[in-house]
Amino acid sequence: MDIKKTALAGTLESSDIQITLSQGSNGINIDLDSSVEKLYGDQIRKVITDTLSAYGIDNANVKAVDKGALDCVIKARTMAAAQRALDTVDQPDWEVF
Amino acid sequence: MQTIFDHGKYQDILAVLKNKDERVETQNKLLKENPSMTVVAAKLNIPGPIKNNKKIQEFFVTGLDTFESILLTTGFNFVVKDEWLEKMTGPERFYLIEEDAAKVKSTTSQFEEMKPSFRLFDLDVLTNSNGKIQTLSRADASQPPRKCLICGRPAKECGRSRRHTVEELQKKVSLLVCAELSYNQKERMANWLTRLAQQALLYEASAWPKPGLVDPVEHGAHLDMDIFTFINSSASLQKYLHQAALLGTMSCSTNLSLIFEELREYGKKAEKAMFTATNNINTHKGAVFSLGVFVAATGYSLQRVKRFDAEDIQAVIKQMMVNLIDDDLKHLQAKKHLTAGEKQYLEYGLSGIRGEAHAGYPTVFMNGLPALLASTGSWNSRILTTFLELAMHIEDSTLIKRAGTPSIQEWKNQEISECLAMGGISTNAGRQKLIEIEKEFSQRNLSLGGTADLLIVTIFLGLVKEGLPNEFQDK
């Protein structure tokens, strides 16, 4: 599935993550900014990629600013961003969550 | 084991995230409308699914009282712009502060570090710098990252790895919050006792007619002072009475004679404040001693037994006074300047207020307090009924000093008995007799200063017993 428009979800509050999705053509590219990057960078990238895949998104540029979010928060924020980018906000895909 | 997590609605991730969005929206709106001001967004870091209930809210509100007093004493002007005390995702409050963000950040840090429990507060400082909204981080204020509540590692690492269980975190948070709530309650109790002690001073001075004492109508026995001198004196003792109340409510020591020694140190300063307020007239020197003892002992007893228990208060006083006679009266021969009470001990063997205090104020507990509690009607008549009862049973060193002989007591008792036989203050004849006694005391320059001190402490006990709020009692 293709991204129709750039979309943002999440805040810069502590324990949150802000995800910005925009059109891309070369797979999932994640630009991650996190204070726990060294320890959890790979895990955060994996949660984002898996969540996008569940929506059938294979090409996207992702800007992620992490403020210590847990996996479930990363997933929820990525879902919200994906739905906004796909214009499907009205039909949340709870099975993904 | 006390817990603060016994009530409250479970919050899921989505509710928490939705709340974060709402918070950011509120913050941004405030900063756009007030671009030159700093915003402080105050909330709590409460781990686990329960994020708000009555106890959590009380902890939040009283904690922020402390933060606001830091702002007040720092001279930073603020307004509260929004407040979500009831929100199930946790209480929050938004301040607008007219001060540079970096300076505000140092006050929020000062607050968060003040006590272990304030570590649970999370006060974000936000600023609008040319349209761009920025949150000042701890690093911006050259502070190390927050540490984990449990192990002291960086909090973000433990949070991310879920190193500690929710139960473990809740247990620690409960401990911190419960300690703080109990401290707050003791502080409220101390403030309340201070207020009643000042009321007792003013009630005593206001009641009329009191033979040998100052009241708003008559002060013939004390030409150097009037009711206003007593108002000045009562106001000057606020700090001391608060110290006495804190001493009693906060102390966990069982060494009550040491507590009393500390009280006397505050008392010495209070006497100086009193003399400054009255132009060197002794209005309340005896009351500084006795009322201080009663306030401290009542606070000590209340926080232990959680109800009004006169016997327990008296037992506390006796323990406080255990060394009083030895310390004060056994070494008088060497002293150059003696007080009235000290002279009378040497001349007549009368131990006066010290004897009364050492015995645990039997006149107050056996005569004064029962009379006050049984009395009805206006405060004026209740106070005078109590006054007559006390005056009948006390060995008043001020009276003996003025008369120059202990035999004056027989005459005093005779006069009071006559007044009581006429029905006391509640009958016209009794009241008339009391006015006559007051005149005679004035003419002969006689005083009942010692009785006044006991009257003040009796009124204090009565106010405590009759007004004890539910929160200070075990039901």
Instruction: Please indicate if any CB of chain A lies within 8 Å of the CB of B132.
Output: no
Cβ pair B13:A72 closer than 8 A: yes
Chain A residues with CB-CB distance to B162 below 8 A: 70
Say which residues have a Cβ less than 8 Å from residue A78's Cβ, sequence separation at least 6: A9, A19, A47, A48, A51, A52
pLDDT digits (tens, 9 = 90+) for B158-202: 888 889 999 999 999 999 999 999 999 999 999 999 999 999 999
Cβ pair A68:B156 closer than 8 A: yes
H/E element, B322? none
Cβ pair A68:B162 closer than 8 A: no
CA torsion B376-B377-B383-B389 (nearest 10°) is: -40
> Is the model more confident about A58 or about B292?
B292
Report the alpha-carbon distance of residue B339 to residue B271 in Å, rounded.
Answer: 14
Nearest-by-CA chain B residue for A41: B160
> Is the model more confident about A47 or about A94?
A47
Best to test chain A binding among B19, B20, B135 (most A CBs inside 10 Å): B20
Report the alpha-carbon distance of residue A77 to residue A19 in Å, rounded.
Answer: 7
Report the alpha-carbon distance of residue B381 to residue B386 in Å, rounded.
Answer: 8
Instruction: Please indicate if any CB of chain A lies within 8 Å of the CB of B153.
Output: no
Report the alpha-carbon distance of residue B269 to residue B287 in Å, rounded.
Answer: 14
Residue A90: pLDDT over 90: no
Nearest CA-CA partner of B39 in B145, B139, B123, B137: B123
Using CB atoms, pick whichever of A11, A13, A73 lies closest to residue B13: A73
Q: Average pLDDT in the B384-389 region?
A: 96
pLDDT digits (tens, 9 = 90+) for B8-64: 999 999 999 999 999 999 999 999 999 999 999 999 999 999 999 999 999 999 999
Nearest CA-CA partner of B436 in B171, B220, B234, B125: B220
Nearest CA-CA partner of A78 in A50, A39, A35, A48: A48
Report the alpha-carbon distance of residue B404 to residue B406 in Å, rounded.
Answer: 7
The owner of tokens 């300063």 is B269
Please give the pLDDT value at position B406: 86
Using CB atoms, pick whichever of B14, B20, B157 lies closest to residue A16: B20
Instruction: Please indicate if any CB of chain A lies within 8 Å of the CB of B140.
Output: no
Cβ pair B157:A12 closer than 8 A: no
Cβ pair A12:B23 closer than 8 A: no
Report the alpha-carbon distance of residue B287 to residue B285 in Å, rounded.
Answer: 5
ipTM: 0.88
Strand partners, B96: B39, B79
- The answer to whether the CB of B190 falls within 8 A of the CB of B250 is yes
CA torsion B417-B418-B422-B427 (nearest 10°) is: -80
Strand partners, A65: A18, A33
Q: Average pLDDT in the B198-227 region?
A: 93
Report the alpha-carbon distance of residue B82 to residue B23 in Å, rounded.
Answer: 10
Strand ranges inside chain A, DSSP E = 7-9, 17-22, 28-34, 60-66
Instruction: Please indicate if any CB of chain A lies within 8 Å of the CB of B100.
Output: no
Please give the pLDDT value at position B1: 61
CA distances from A28 to A25, A37, A49, B43, B457 (A): 8, 18, 7, 36, 80
Residue B69: pLDDT over 90: yes
Q: 55-94 in A: which are within 8 Å (CB) of B?
A: 68, 70, 72-73, 76-77
3-state secondary structure at position B334: helix
Instruction: Please indicate if any CB of chain A lies within 8 Å of the CB of B327.
Output: no
Cβ pair B14:A12 closer than 8 A: no
Chain A residues with CB-CB distance to B14 below 8 A: 76
The owner of tokens 């992490």 is A66
Please give the pLDDT value at position B161: 84
Chain A residues with CB-CB distance to B156 below 8 A: 35-36, 68
Using CB atoms, pick whichever of B14, B23, B145 lies closest to residue A76: B14
CA angle B352, B353, B357 (to 5 degrees): 125
Position B342 confidence tier, pLDDT thresholds 50, 70, 90:
confident
CATH number of the domain at A7-86, out of 3.30.230.10, 3.30.750.80, 3.10.290.10, 3.10.450.50?
Answer: 3.30.230.10
Residue A96: pLDDT over 90: no
CA distances from B246 to A84, B67, B181, B194 (A): 59, 21, 16, 9
Please give the pLDDT value at position B369: 98
Percent of chain B surpassing pLDDT 90: 78
Cβ pair B24:A11 closer than 8 A: yes
Chain B residues with CB-CB distance to A16 below 8 A: 17, 20
Mean of all residue pLDDT scores within chain B: 92
Q: Which spans in B34-136 are helix H?
A: 54-74, 101-114
Cβ pair A10:B17 closer than 8 A: yes
Percent of chain B surpassing pLDDT 70: 99
Q: Which fold has domain B13-164?
A: Alpha-Beta Plaits (3.30.70)
B127: distance to nearest CA of chain A, Å?
A: 14
Please give the pLDDT value at position B159: 84
Nearest-by-CA chain A residue for B154: A36
Q: Average pLDDT in the A45-70 region?
A: 94
Chain B residues with CB-CB distance to A72 below 8 A: 13
pLDDT digits (tens, 9 = 90+) for B177-188: 999 999 999 999
B160: distance to nearest CA of chain A, Å?
A: 6
- The answer to whether the CB of B212 falls within 8 A of the CB of B441 is yes
A26: distance to nearest CA of chain B, Å?
A: 30
The owner of tokens 């928490």 is B16
Residue B238: pLDDT over 90: yes
Please give the pLDDT value at position B117: 95
3-state secondary structure at position B53: coil
Rounded to the nearest angstrom, the gap between the alpha carbon of residue B275 and the centroid of all alpha carbons in its chain is: 23
Q: Hey, where are the domains in chain A?
A: 7-86
Strand partners, B79: B96
B66: distance to nearest CA of chain A, Å?
A: 24
- The answer to whether the CB of A64 falls within 8 A of the CB of A18 is yes
CB atoms within 10 A of CB B131: 8
Beta-strand pair B121-129/B38-44: antiparallel
Residues of chain B with CATH 3.30.70: 13-164
pLDDT digits (tens, 9 = 90+) for B410-449: 999 999 999 999 999 989 999 999 999 999 999 999 999 8
CA angle B188, B109, B127 (to 5 degrees): 115
Residue B350: pLDDT over 90: no
Report the alpha-carbon distance of residue B350 to residue B397 in Å, rounded.
Answer: 8
Q: Average pLDDT in the B306-311 region?
A: 96
Residue B225: pLDDT over 80: yes
In this structure, what token pair is assigned to residue B128? Answer: 């609008």
Best to test chain B binding among A11, A13, A67, A70 (most B CBs inside 10 Å): A13
Report the alpha-carbon distance of residue B81 to residue B238 in Å, rounded.
Answer: 34
Q: Average pLDDT in the B397-410 region?
A: 87
Report the alpha-carbon distance of residue B243 to residue B292 in Å, rounded.
Answer: 9
Nearest-by-CA chain B residue for A35: B156
Cβ pair A68:B160 closer than 8 A: yes
Instruction: Please indicate if any CB of chain A lies within 8 Å of the CB of B139.
Output: no
Residue A91: pLDDT over 70: no
Instruction: Please indicate if any CB of chain A lies within 8 Å of the CB of B162.
Output: yes
Report the alpha-carbon distance of residue B275 to residue B233 in Å, rounded.
Answer: 8
pLDDT digits (tens, 9 = 90+) for B135-166: 998 877 777 888 898 998 888 888 888 899 99
Instruction: Please indicate if any CB of chain A lies within 8 Å of the CB of B21.
Output: yes
Residue B387: pLDDT over 90: yes
